[in-house]
Amino acid sequence: MSKKSFNIKEVKIRPVRADDYKDIHEIMSNPEVALDLGTLPWVKEDEIKNNIEKSKSTERIHLVAEYGGKVIGFASSYYDQDFSRFLTADVAVAVHRDYQNSGVGSCLMEKLIQYIKDFTAILRLELGVFADNENAIKLYKKFGFRQYGRDKMVGLYKGKMEDHIFMSLHIDRKL
Ligand SMILES: CC(C)(COP(=O)(O)OP(=O)(O)OC[C@H]1O[C@@H](n2cnc3c(N)ncnc32)[C@H](O)[C@@H]1OP(=O)(O)O)[C@@H](O)C(=O)NCCC(=O)NCCS
Tell me the HSE value of 98 on the side-chain side, using a 13 A CA sphere.
14
Q: pLDDT, tens digit, for every residue of 73-116?
A: 999 999 877 777 778 889 999 999 999 999 999 999 999 999 99
Average pLDDT over residues 6-12: 96
Give 63's pLDDT tier (boundaries 50, 70, 90).
Answer: very high
Let me know: does 141 contact 127? Beta carbons within 8 Å: no
Task: Give me the pLDDT at residue 104, please.
Answer: 98
Task: Give me the pLDDT at residue 175, please.
Answer: 67
Q: pLDDT, tens digit, for every residue of 30-55?
A: 999 999 998 999 999 999 999 999 88
CA of 152 to the centre of ligand 1 (A): 24
Give 1's pLDDT tier (boundaries 50, 70, 90).
Answer: low
Q: Which residues contact 43 (CB under 8 A, 6 or more apart)?
A: 25, 28, 29, 34
Is the CB–ligand 1 distance for residue 28 below 6 Å? no
In this model, does residue 2 exceed pLDDT 70? no
Task: Give me the pLDDT at residue 108, please.
Answer: 98
Is the CB–ligand 1 distance for residue 36 below 6 Å? yes
> Side chain identity at 165, as an amino acid letter?
I
Q: What rounded mean pLDDT belongs to the chain?
A: 93
CA of 101 to the centre of ligand 1 (A): 5
Give 29's pLDDT tier (boundaries 50, 70, 90).
Answer: very high
Q: Which residues contact 128 (CB under 8 A, 6 or more apart)?
A: 151, 164, 165, 166, 167
Mutate to test the pocket of ligand 1, among 126, 129, 135, 163 (most ligand atoms within 8 A of CB): 135
Task: Give me the pLDDT at residue 96, please.
Answer: 98
Residue boundaries of the structural domains of the chain: 11-170
Q: State how far the alpha carbon of 150 is from the alpha carbons of 12, 22, 40, 118, 128, in Å.
A: 35, 34, 23, 31, 9
CA of 106 to the centre of ligand 1 (A): 8
Span of 2-6, 67-71, 138-142, 171-175 with lowest mean pLDDT: 2-6
DSSP H stretches of helix in the chain: 21-29, 31-37, 45-54, 104-119, 134-142
- Residue range 11-170 in CATH 3.40.50.620: no
Task: Give me the pLDDT at residue 13, please.
Answer: 98
